Structure 1
Amino acid sequence: MTVDIVIQGAKGRMGNTLINMALADETLNLVGACERKGHADGLNYECAVSDCLEELLPNVPGAVIVDFTAPEGSVAMSRIAAKYGNPAVIGTTGLTPEQQAELAESAKKTPIFWAPNMSVGINVLLKFLPQLVQALGEDYDVELSETHHKMKKDSPSGTALKLAQCLAEARGWDYDEVKQHCRDGIIGARPKKQIGVQTLRGGDVVGDHTAYFFGPGERIEITHRAHSRETFAAGALRAAKWLARQKPGKLYSMADIF
């Protein structure tokens, strides 16, 4: 059985990667490519091409939308998907709690999947890191760093935030109360109840994330490096195949697939 998909933001870096991988996958059928108003020119694929998702969807009932665009665009897309009953996979980062709540609202009407990182490796880390936190105990200070290409707009990355929240939960902390996203000047000694997340930007780095555990007399570092966008595209297309069989009712994530 093949799964019909529509790529939203087809001209973007991720959109182009998704299209190429979908075309090479015999279990997927690319039925639509969509770009924002006035930017669909030059999309030459053997599928429906449009700069208006709302005009496209009635012609591709049930097709799974895959979206790696921007927070406002992804939220707007989820409303349109809910209106027409199309499932949607969203890999956009930088969503506010209010925007995430809007996705959850759309998910009541049609299957919606959202993950700030589609990498299988990162999502395995999200399962493993809490065990490490608990095994090491509170004598180990936890910090994170993340590095991305210079064009990335949000900071810290959605993946870094997800990892940091995961680590805070393992300690029984409220992340918003213990987060430290920047240090500057005479800051004094590091509080025991704190998780720092440091950001680097430059070049064409796809995505590096490192979790640090600073203990008495030793340090543990766990690093994940994404070497290409195909890592995230593969996870998103895997999610699209899975989501096509699901029902509305909750905002799905990579944890549901595992």
Structure 2
Amino acid sequence: MTHRLIAIVAVIGLSGVFMGAIGCIATETGNPTFRPTASASPDALDGMLLADNPMLPASEPMASLEGGAGSIDPPTGEVWVWNLDRELPPEKTAVAADGSFRLAFEAASGELLRMHVVDEDGALASLPIDLRVTDAGLLTEEPTTPCLDIAPEVLVLTGASGSGVIEMTNRCATPILREPARLQSATGAYAVEDAGDEPLPGATTTLRIDALSAGEPAVVLIPLAAPTAGTRAVSVYQL
């Protein structure tokens, strides 16, 4: 399910700022808990598909995303955008002194994006915002199959050799059918261990993520086939 966030010429009207307390504590699975240290305000975002210039050679389709003044608080670090439908590194841009930003990236209508604020130390600083590219603009994307609980939303690994667990609990009335989890792009810094278990209603299965070396934040994709086809994502970084 999608909800309109960004129109081509109109700034969106969603309320809410994503921010939390600073610091990390251990979860029941032993992973540190992600605590956002920056906020990304959807109210100040605008984005669209970029039209091809008929005077130039054909190129990959592009989209743009920008945030007005105050969209990132505090106004430090960078905004990163991953295209979850392409094996590309994230596009990055610095946050301006007034909290604004702007960047363009390869994307076509129908593709799914994930946005994060990344701090000056290279750590994820905000909760993710997922966006769907459409001909009318960019739309916020609600999780596919919301009755499948996936935790954590952001996985924190301790150091360049740390490991972590992602839990998937099926609260749906039918079994979950899915493909094995994988990294959005091969960074060489992480490995995904997934037995491919498809949890029955009420059951929980786990994935293991290992850090192989020091590396930038990345995104783990969990493709779903049923009860609803789509992709869920978990962001991961090293503390």
TM-score norm. by structure 1 comes to 0.27
TM-score normalised to the size of structure 2? 0.28
The structure with more helix, counted as a fraction of residues: 1
Whose strand proportion is higher, 1 or 2? 2
Higher-Rg member (1/2): 1
